[in-house]
Structure 1
Amino acid sequence: MKDQAGGLGKRLLRVRGRPRRARESAYSWQLVVLTVSVGAFMGQLDSSIVTIAYPSLEREFGAPLATVQWVSLAYLLVTTALMVTVGHMSDLLGRKSVYLRGFALFTLASAACSLAPDLAALVCFRVVQALGAAMISANSVALVTVAAPRERLRGALGFQAAGQALGLAVGPTLGGVLVATVGWRWVFWINVPVGVAAMIMGYYLLPPTDRRATGARFDLPGTAWLASGAAAMLGGVSAFSGLPLPGWAGAVLIVASAVLWWGFVRREGRAAEPLVSTRLMRDRRVAWGLLGALAGYLVLFGPLVLVPLALVRHTGADEMRVGLLLGPLAVGFALAANAQEAVLPKAWPSRRRCMAGALLALVALAGSALAVPRDLWLIVWLGVLGLGLGLFTPSNNEMVMSSVPEEHSGTGGGMINMTRSLGTALGVALVTLTYHLDSDHTWDSVLPLLPVLVLVLGALLMALSAAAGGRAGSPSDPGS
């Protein structure tokens, strides 16, 4: 039996072309999108499912919230730092190969997380898990971009984005059920059977990489600058959020973060093979699109952490009810991401769709800031916010990826996912800081964050408007 299991593992990791039946199927590219969406679902599920376990982790390990949040931040920090590097690696070595090995590592690390004896070990295992998640996520957009027909790309990316949204929203509800019934360790055990199923799907349904980038090297110094800058920034915010560090340490970390980010920008401008392609970033659609990805996921993930904290502590709501209240956010996202092609005029370019989505999300945030904390108001405004972000995200991704050459699509997809992860990490950190600053831990702890999110979206609207004067539209984006 052991030899049979080992043989199965080797076969799964030995990357070959798809079986003829899958390759010649009329639904060939849809099967690729479905398979990749499973990975997108799992990556975001694992980001959001952990937040519901924070109180249990605080009790079991006797640690404050500012320390427990690093179970999430360590995961997000590693994915942020490695996303572009891993995407670049997949351009060189093959996306299917990197994707399958990433799922294998993610699944094994999930099992290790469920067995962690203390908080330090759990954070370490989460770092390993994040490496696997980076190998999965960095390839998701690229695999969809290469597989889908150009005229169907926006819809395909919408389906993949809907998988991410579903993972984000199911996480709190599923986490609440698992924590309440079988304990927090099962929020990691649940990844194991799904991971095995996803590996089997990927082995049989994903195509190998036909065109690969050549002659390139990894920008390890750039990765170090990026990781150090992000870690210092998140560490500084955590220090002001209750992490057991002296006050001056937080200020030092924030200053160090600014210096490290400056060094990263300088390094990328001089590097022969930069981590963040300066050639790609010269395209306004790519540059502003990456800013949009960061802003969109900060706005999306903030409520997923903030609403449970505010409601559980203020109203005594149980985790199950809070998870259900967050459902409209994901439902709205999924509906807008998948139905926009059928509802909106086909002549609308991606830039206009981004503008409409950002404006709708801006209205939802403004309404939320004035809303009374009642279930009906939350359902309405979170649903509207989901619609806006679901309209914005796939159009934003299409705007970026249509400007990236196919042989560098892994790098482009990695850049999108890197900024998403950074936006998600900022959402976690800012929510924790807001919660810490409000000593009463009431619903009013929501309000200080909402103006920040409004300003982010306002800046995003201006950025997209400025991008209108940039690069001429591609065939897939008429009228840009």
Structure 2
Amino acid sequence: MATDMSPHPSRKRWSAVLIAERPRPERIRSRPDAWWLAVGTVCFGAFMGQLDASIVTLTYGSLRTGFHASLAAVEWVSLAYLLTLVALLVPAGRLADAHGRKLLYLYGFAVFTLASAACGLAPSLFALVAFRVVQAAGAAMMQANSVALVTTSAPRERMRSALGVQAAAQALGLALGPTVGGALVSTLGWRWVFWVNVPVGVVALVGGHYLLPRTRARARVARFDWAGLGLLAVATTSALMGVSAASGLAVPGWGLALLFVFAACAGWGFVRWQRRAVTPLLDLALLRSRAVAFGLTGALSGYLVLFGPLVLVPVVLTARGSSDLTAGLVLTALPAGFALAATGGDRLLPRGLPDRGRCLAGAVVFTVAVSVLLVVPPAIGWLVPVLALTGLGLGTFTPANNTMIMSAIPASSSGTGGGLVNMTRGLGTALGVALVTLALHLAGGDRVQAGARWAAAVLVAASAVAVASAWLSPRTDPTVSRAAT
């Protein structure tokens, strides 16, 4: 007797539901503001990603007490998340280009939400670090697709405005992180720092199902590039660990040198492999575009300038006798300026000013702002206007910079492009924190003011790179037709 080995119809039905992108309801898709609804949905992830990045550091004291751990051990709660996130952003974008950006984004939010709940239930520090790795994998699936979903949802002429709103959502999350984190830890305990993600994640999942468009332009992948993923992970992880170790961790000189050797060798091997691979993880042809290459350089420099002061200002102010609350309030001027410029910049700048001009104007503004720190004392009266002006410059620069990059990338590779943008953001964030910490460390614990000048010099150098990248970018903005359902 013949046996029917074909899958049961109900299994086929559930399989189709799990791997297929669902269309938006017609009443939503046909609305004139449907693209704004999609952008607003993506802002949930942008907000939570930055809130989570800035809120977790507030738990260090409670974690050290609760788990009887050292500061070096507790730092892995953040370090493990960051290393995983940076390593997986480009692969997640590549998978999204092949299988659907909406699909990967929603699955990423589901993983992030479940892992957040697990982090809040962690019985040990080791378990918490492990759950943070899973949480970062979900965040990579979200962040690799956030920029792509915005650029494929918004009309070409409104792309910069849409990316500005997303950047403002990130700045808002960054600004609220210290305040929300401090309130939660002091009242409900450190576990609520992770549990707060759960209700937001549920709302975002429901909203994303109904409001996000399906992927129309896809890049089919016959075989996933696991070798490329491994080389990229080793390169980024070794480089970030090396920079972090140089910032004051107890790592011997030979170990530090070995990390940078691993990073250089893996990076060289990754480029060589991508040129030979049949289905490369990253199409290196994308990086031959001046708009993409210089744009990514500028994005990395901009985020270095954005996150460097988050380390510098609290250290300097507390050394001068200010409280942590005062330092947090002073820091708010930076993301507040960023959000103001990102959402309202189009109303103040000439409509005909191209993205390159906006990048250049913003980069000049924050270069002038951070240069002031080289010649004035790091007092509150100076820091507030300097940080606000830095935020205004960055808020003008970042949306235009991202628009130039994504406009130069074909729609079928927008997930990979979004992954590249977010990977450079992550690297810039890590370098901003690590290089400022290194400058303060090299100056010595009792020479905070001298260390602040060295840290300001690092920020000025990064700002100068951002100005150069904007100046060297193409003078005409590339146009790529994009469509969304």
Corresponding position: 1:247 with 2:253:
yes
1:18-41: per-residue Cα shift (whole Å, max 9, x none)?
122222222111101111111111
Q: Secondary structure at the match of 2:48?
A: helix
The answer for the alignment partner of 2:57 in structure 1 is 51
Contact 2:312 / 2:455 at 8 angstroms: preserved in 1? Answer: no
Of 104, 107, 110, which aligns to 1:101? 107
The CA distance in 2 between the partners of 1:71 and 1:310, in whole Å, is 25
Corresponding position: 1:289 with 2:292:
no
Q: Secondary structure at the match of 1:447?
A: helix
Contact 2:295 / 2:469 at 8 angstroms: preserved in 1? Answer: no
Partner amino acid, structure 2, of 1:220:
W
Q: Runs in 1 of length 4+ with deviation above 6 angstroms?
A: 10-14
Please identify, of 211-220 and 125-134, the stretch whose mean Cα deviation from structure 2 is larger: 211-220
The CA distance in 1 between the partners of 2:315 and 2:56, in whole Å, is 13
Please identify, of 183-192 and 230-239, the stretch whose mean Cα deviation from structure 2 is larger: 230-239
Corresponding position: 1:357 with 2:362:
yes
The answer for the alignment partner of 2:424 in structure 1 is 419
RMSD between aligned alpha carbons? 2.3
Contact 1:222 / 1:264 at 8 angstroms: preserved in 2? Answer: yes
The answer for the alignment partner of 1:340 in structure 2 is 345
The CA distance in 1 between the partners of 2:274 and 2:256, in whole Å, is 27
The CA distance in 1 between the partners of 2:75 and 2:255, in whole Å, is 18
The CA distance in 2 between the partners of 1:147 and 1:135, in whole Å, is 18
Contact 1:51 / 1:305 at 8 angstroms: preserved in 2? Answer: no
Partner amino acid, structure 2, of 1:381:
V
Larger of the two Rg values belongs to structure: 2
The answer for the alignment partner of 2:136 in structure 1 is 130
The CA distance in 1 between the partners of 2:169 and 2:17, in whole Å, is 27
The CA distance in 2 between the partners of 1:316 and 1:66, in whole Å, is 25
Contact 1:310 / 1:441 at 8 angstroms: preserved in 2? Answer: no
How far 1:62 moved relative to its partner?
Answer: 4.7
Q: Gaps spanning 5+ residues in structure 1: where?
A: 1-9
Partner amino acid, structure 1, of 2:245:
A
The answer for the alignment partner of 2:381 in structure 1 is 376
Partner amino acid, structure 2, of 1:410:
G
1:345-393: per-residue Cα shift (whole Å, max 9, x none)?
1111111111111111111111133333332322211111100110110
Partner amino acid, structure 2, of 1:196:
V
The CA distance in 2 between the partners of 1:183 and 1:360, in whole Å, is 40
Corresponding position: 1:473 with 2:480:
no
Of 181, 188, 206, which aligns to 2:187? 181
How far 1:317 moved relative to its partner?
Answer: 0.8
Return closer, same or farther for 1:84/1:476 CA change in 2, 3 Å cut-off.
Answer: closer
1:294-341: per-residue Cα shift (whole Å, max 9, x none)?
1111111121233234434552513x3332222111111111111121
Contact 2:408 / 2:480 at 8 angstroms: preserved in 1? Answer: no
Quote the sequence identity (%). 55
Q: Gaps spanning 5+ residues in structure 2: where?
A: 1-15
Structure 1 residues 400-479: aligned runs within 5 Å = 400-437=405-442, 438-440=444-446, 442-468=448-474, 472-475=476-479
The CA distance in 2 between the partners of 1:126 and 1:170, in whole Å, is 21
Return closer, same or farther for 1:232/1:303 CA change in 2, 3 Å cut-off.
Answer: same
Corresponding position: 1:37 with 2:36:
no
Contact 1:67 / 1:243 at 8 angstroms: preserved in 2? Answer: no
The answer for the alignment partner of 1:4 in structure 2 is none
Return closer, same or farther for 1:368/1:137 CA change in 2, 3 Å cut-off.
Answer: same
Structure 1 residues 66-215: aligned runs within 5 Å = 66-215=72-221
Please identify, of 117-126 and 202-211, the stretch whose mean Cα deviation from structure 2 is larger: 117-126
Corresponding position: 1:236 with 2:237:
no
Contact 1:169 / 1:304 at 8 angstroms: preserved in 2? Answer: no
Return closer, same or farther for 1:127/1:57 CA change in 2, 3 Å cut-off.
Answer: same
The CA distance in 1 between the partners of 2:76 and 2:436, in whole Å, is 13
Contact 2:87 / 2:237 at 8 angstroms: preserved in 1? Answer: no
Return closer, same or farther for 1:445/1:172 CA change in 2, 3 Å cut-off.
Answer: farther
1:31-81: per-residue Cα shift (whole Å, max 9, x none)?
011111111111111111112333433444454544433322221221111
Please identify, of 260-269 and 53-62, the stretch whose mean Cα deviation from structure 2 is larger: 53-62
Return closer, same or farther for 1:217/1:188 CA change in 2, 3 Å cut-off.
Answer: same
TM-score, normalized by length of structure 1?
0.91
Please identify, of 106-115 and 270-279, the stretch whose mean Cα deviation from structure 2 is larger: 270-279
**Size of the alignment, in residue pairs?**
465
The CA distance in 2 between the partners of 1:256 and 1:388, in whole Å, is 36
Partner amino acid, structure 2, of 1:403:
A
Contact 1:64 / 1:243 at 8 angstroms: preserved in 2? Answer: no
Please identify, of 411-420 and 10-19, the stretch whose mean Cα deviation from structure 2 is larger: 10-19
Return closer, same or farther for 1:465/1:216 CA change in 2, 3 Å cut-off.
Answer: farther
Contact 1:66 / 1:241 at 8 angstroms: preserved in 2? Answer: no
